[in-house]
A and B are shown apart, each in its own frame.
Chain A
Amino acid sequence: MKKFLPVFSVVLAIVTILSLGLGSTQPKAAAQDQVTITWWHIGTVEAQGTYWQSLADAYMEANPNVTIEITILENEAFKERLVTVMQAGDPPDVFQSWGGGVLWEFAEAGLVRNIAPELEGDWKDSFSAQAALELYGRDGEYYGVPWTWGTVGMFYNKALFAEAGLDPEAPPVTWEEFLAAVQALKDAGITPISLGEGDKWPGHFWWVYLAIRLGGEQAFLDAYNRDGAFTDEPFVQAGEYLQQLIDLEPFPDGFMGLSYNDQAGLMGDGKAAMELMGQWAPSVQIDNSENAGEAIEGNLGWFPFPVIEGGAGNPGDVLGGGDGYAVGSNAEDEAVDFLKFITSAENQAEGAKIWILPTVAAAESAIEDPVLQTILVARNSATYSQLYYDQFLPPAVGQAVNDAVQGLFEGSLTAEDVASAIEDEASFELDE
Chain B
Amino acid sequence: MSALGAQVRTITRQRDKTHPRRINFGKWGTISLFVLPGLLLFILFVLVPIAKAAQYSLYEWDGFGPLTEYVKFGNYDRLNDHKPFRSAISHSFFIMFLSLTVQLPLAMMLALLVGRGKLRGRKIFRMILFVPFVFSEIITALIWMYVFHPGEGLANVAFGTLIPGFEGQTWLGDRDLVMYSLFAVLTWKYFGFYMILYMAGLQGVSKELEEAARVDGANELQVLRYVTLPLLGSTIRLTIYLSVLGSFQQFAIAWILTRGGSPANSSHLISTYLYKFGIKTFRLGYGSSVAVVLFTISLLFSLGYQRIVLRRDYAD
A contacts, CB < 8 Å to B = 79-80, 83, 86-87, 105, 108-111, 197-200, 252-258, 262, 394-396, 399, 403-404, 406-407, 410, 412-413, 428
Contacts and interface: CB of A to CB of B under 8 A. Distances in A.
Contact of A396 (B264, B265, B281): B281
B52 interface: no
B234 interface: no
Given A198-B173, A257-B149, A262-B151, A87 B264 contact: no
Interface stretch (B61-69, B104-112, B206-214, B245-253): B61-69
Contact of A253 (B150, B265, B276): B150
A412 B263 contact: yes
A412 B264 contact: yes
Given A111-B64, A254-B170, A257-B173, A410 B280 contact: no
Contact of B264 (A80, A262, A404): A404
A407 B265 CA distance: 8
Contacts of B276: 399
Contact of B64 (A79, A109, A200): A109
Contacts of B175: 410, 412
A410 B260 CA distance: 15
B170 A407 contact: no
Contacts of B169: 254
Contacts of B125: none
Given A253-B168, A254-B169, A406-B262, 11 more contacts: A105-B64, A108-B64, A255-B150, A256-B173, A256-B263, A257-B149, A257-B172, A257-B173, A394-B282, A399-B281, A410-B175
Given A198-B172, A257-B148, A262-B151, A410 B263 contact: yes
A148 to B, nearest CB: 25
A32 B65 CA distance: 35
A86 B63 CA distance: 9
A413 to B, nearest CB: 7
16 contacts: A83-B279, A83-B280, A105-B62, A105-B64, A109-B64, A110-B64, A198-B259, A198-B262, A254-B168, A254-B170, A255-B173, A256-B262, A395-B280, A407-B264, A407-B265, A410-B175
Q: Is the interface of B mostly helix, strand, loop or mixed?
A: loop
Contacts of B171: 257
B266 interface: yes
Give the residue among A111, A199, A256, A399 with the most B Cβ atoms within 10 A. A256
Contacts of A395: 280-282
B16 interface: no
Contacts of B65: 109
A80 B283 CA distance: 14
Contacts of B313: none
Contacts of B265: 403, 407
Contacts of A394: 281-282
Contact of A254 (B63, B173, B277, B281): B173
Nearest to A105: B282
B280 A399 contact: yes
Give the residue among B62, B150, B174, B264 with the most A Cβ atoms within 10 A. B264
